[in-house]
């Protein structure tokens, strides 16, 4: 802890496919750390290939050993279960405390900006329980209609929210309707319990987009189609986890719960006709997501953007007082 009693934490952020996990593993090895994955998609069990989840050996208490480093925050719930930033904050706070108690450095890595703000920035969240009936009503709407509805309810919040994220839009509308107040009113930062070194992994846009395209092609080769088919048979396309990129694009390929190929589209209405279209759509959606991630993280002026490892190591050694 520093002189103000705050726990020291290293946060590694950036867009998908930027190399965050590889850097986090190097840092954890070099500075005696444990990794906490801050990702709203890798929390789902069985969703491995499409989320680029680390591979390794599962341990007794819910951690994964990958490349000799302990990873937390993976496989927390089933794809059909509702999970929130608030629930993850409770989990993450406990894990960080345990890591520190073992004399190790918490290394948080991921691309879900809101969750980082909730955990490390102590962003307050509305204590509003999910309303299943309202969510079902909203889930049949497309993303554009959801955003327009939210814009009417919370004009200020509409300027900041990810307008292409249906799950976030549905939650924001739900809070507005159930509380009678704008969702943005609840999102206020409080004093943090952590002293954070923010490191952003910077990659030139063209290189990043090439990495994304290659990664998606590798996912297909590794068996993404079979993974999606298995998940559809178990949970259907309406499961919360299936709303993520890499999974939602397959809507219309299988009939939910049956596994039979079909051209009947769900409410998402993605006009898919063949595997080439699916691959291209996943690549396109991932590139757009990476752009939104960068927009989110660029708002955080505490982030040191690094292009090479040695700069990151120098910053860490200064942060930990090892210079």
Going by the annotation, the residues of the binding site for substrate are 16-21
Total Cβ atoms within 10 A of residue 223: 13
Cα distances (Å, whole numbers) of residue 318 to 254, 269, 286: 53, 51, 35
Closest CA to 79 of 216, 219, 256, 296: 256
Residue partners of 249: CB distance under 8 A and separation at least 6: 270, 272, 278, 281, 282, 285
Q: Which of the 8 DSSP states describes residue 55? A: P
Residue with tokens 């345990």: 98
Residue with tokens 């509003």: 128
Token pair of 148 as six digits: 């327009």
Cα distances (Å, whole numbers) of residue 205 to 35, 245, 300: 26, 20, 19
From the annotation, which residues make up the binding site? 14-21
Cα distances (Å, whole numbers) of residue 23 to 66, 188, 208, 295: 13, 31, 16, 21
Q: Which of the 8 DSSP states describes residue 237? A: T
Q: Answer yes or no: are the C-beta atoms of 163 and 147 closer than 8 Å.
A: yes
Residue with tokens 């890591």: 99
From the annotation, which residues make up the binding site for ATP? 14-21
Residue 110 backbone phi and psi in degrees, to 5: 165, -175
Residue partners of 188: CB distance under 8 A and separation at least 6: 123, 124
In angstroms, the CA 201 to CA 17 distance is 10
User: What DSSP element (H or E) covers 13?
Assistant: strand 7-13
Which residues on adjacent β-strands are paired with residue 64?
Answer: 58, 71
């Amino acid at each position: 802890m520093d002189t103000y009693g705050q726990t020291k934490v290293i946060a590694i952020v950036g867009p998908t496919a930027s190399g965050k996990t590889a850097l986090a593993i190097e840092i954890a090895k070099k500075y005696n750390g444990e990794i906490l994955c801050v990702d709203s998609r890798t929390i789902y069990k069985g969703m491995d290939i499409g989320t680029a989840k680390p591979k390794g050996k599962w341990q007794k208490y819910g951690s994964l050993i990958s490349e000799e480093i302990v990873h937390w925050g993976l496989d927390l719930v089933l794809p059909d279960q509702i999970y929130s930033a608030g629930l993850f904050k409770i989990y993450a706070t406990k894990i960080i405390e345990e890591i520190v108690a073992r004399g190790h450095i918490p290394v948080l890595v991921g691309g879900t900006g809101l969750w980082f703000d909730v955990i490390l920035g102590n962003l307050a969240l509305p204590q509003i329980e999910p309303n299943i009936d309202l969510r079902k009503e909203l889930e049949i709407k497309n993303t554009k209609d959801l955003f327009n509805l939210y814009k009417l309810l919370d004009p200020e919040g509409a300027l900041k929210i990810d307008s292409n994220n249906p799950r976030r839009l549905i939650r924001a509308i739900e809070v507005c309707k159930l509380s009678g107040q704008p969702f943005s009113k609840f999102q206020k930062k409080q004093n943090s319990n952590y002293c954070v070194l923010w490191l952003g992994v910077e990659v030139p846009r063209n290189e990043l987009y090439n990495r994304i395209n290659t990664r998606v092609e590798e996912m297909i080769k590794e068996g993404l189609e079979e993974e999606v088919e298995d998940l559809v048979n178990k949970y259907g396309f309406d499961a919360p986890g299936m709303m993520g990129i890499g999974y939602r694009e397959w809507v219309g390929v299988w009939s939910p719960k049956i596994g039979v190929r079909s051209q009947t589209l769900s409410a998402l209405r993605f006009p898919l006709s063949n595997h080439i279209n699916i691959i291209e759509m996943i690549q396109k959606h991932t590139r757009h997501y990476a752009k939104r991630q960068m927009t989110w993280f660029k708002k955080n002026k505490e982030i040191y953007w690094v292009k090479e490892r040695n700069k990151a190591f120098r910053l860490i050694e200064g942060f930990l007082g090892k210079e």
